[in-house]
Amino acid sequence: MDLELFEPERGWLARQPSMNPWDGGCQAVLRQMERWIGDYSRRYCETTVDPTANGYGRYLCRLWSCWSYHWRMAAESAGNRTVDGRHVAERLVSGQGFSGKGDLGGDVLHDTVLAQALLLGERQAIAHFEDAYRAVLLKQMRRVSPAVADDPQTWPRFLDKLLVGCPDPPGKIARYQGRSGLRHWLGTVARCFAVDMLRELRSATPPTEEYRPTDALAPALDETAMSRECLELWQGILRKAVGSLRAEQRLLLCLVFEQGLPGKQVAQVLRIHPGTVSRQRQAAEDALREEVERISEERGRRESYQDCLRELLHGPERMSFAQLLIEALRETKGDVRA
């Protein structure tokens, strides 16, 4: 693998400090990641993971995906000026990123190595994970349903879904990319899992009390961190989906959702009969929904997008689908009349 790992990023990476000459810079990055993998794996693996170990390449690829993402974010936030990767790494270790308020919720480099150890079935890593996260995640599930959190089968089933999954795809932990701290990401996964369990429970037994999803999923007041990965996933897919609509459909959605115009004014702007506005709006929304489904199927990540949409609609900083759509419309506003 060696230097081939960095070729896809060469366009922007070669311009960064300490990356010239290219081969020397890449070797320095490899050595740094080797140190991280060794230091972090020593805590969770029976033997320290080094370049001779089975599975080392998987650790390396996953760690580079995390570091390079934040490095590039740092460069973009600095106006595409050069940024030293060592400075980026120092911030990541301290739990600080380069978007929003900067709080990642933990050392994402450490969390990425731990996630890979879990995926590979390292027994010490799994034992550490249960000690560190079981109570926290069951508490998250309890906010959805005490019955789900108290069910003795909930935790074993959650672990199985998270770590084992099926032969294809693997457990959900394989989706963790280190864009936010593992604790925040796991909160999303735990709440979505609890919703699925509650739906299963309610389908098997008659309801005994009123259930309101938005209340059940509401977090504690001090829990303000939303999964960055979820927001990025949905912003990306909606931008692409909105951009694929016809110009008149994008304009109609922009007038309705972003500008909040009533039907009569929308009809005046579009020069159509007021009686056709609702029908054309429905057609535009149907086209958008179909395009979202097509893109998610195309990328093979439909379940991931569905999980993230539920988190965005009901999670710590709840957003309406309309808000997400408005952001996508603003991103494509220059193409509305194209």
pLDDT the model gives residue 217: 34
pLDDT score recorded for residue 12: 93
Please report where in the chains the tokens 């599930």 appear, as a residue. Answer: 141
Contact 6, 29 (CB under 8 A): yes
Burial class (CB in 10 A: 0-12, 13-18, 19+), 271: exposed
DSSP conformational letter for 14: T
Q: Output the six-digit token pair for 208.
A: 């005994």
3-state secondary structure of 316: coil
3-state SS assignment for residue 176: coil
CB-based contact 49:124 (threshold 8 Å): no
Tokens 């909160």 -> residue? 187
Contacts of residue 178, defined as CB under 8 A and 6 or more positions apart, other chains included, come to 62, 63, 65, 66, 69, 70, 108, 109, 111, 112, 115
Q: How far apart are the first and last CA of the chain?
A: 44
* Cα–Cα distance for residue pair 338/311, rounded to 1 Å: 33
Within 8 A by CB and 6+ apart from 289, the residues are: none
Which residue ranges in the chain fall short of pLDDT 50?
167, 207-226, 316-317, 334-338
pLDDT of residue 302: 56
pLDDT at 311: 57
**pTM, full prediction:** 0.65
Radius of gyration of the chain (CA): 23
Q: At what angle do helices 321-331 and 228-244 cross, to 10 degrees?
A: 60
With tokens 């308020």, the residue in question is: 101
Start-end of H helices in the chain = 10-13, 22-44, 56-77, 85-93, 108-119, 123-144, 146-150, 154-159, 182-204, 213-216, 228-244, 247-253, 263-270, 277-298, 302-314, 321-331
What is the CA 208 to chain-centroid distance, rounded?
35
Q: What 3-state class would DSSP assign to 103?
A: strand
Report the alpha-carbon distance of residue 170 to residue 165 in Å, rounded: 5
Looking at residue 204, its amino acid is A
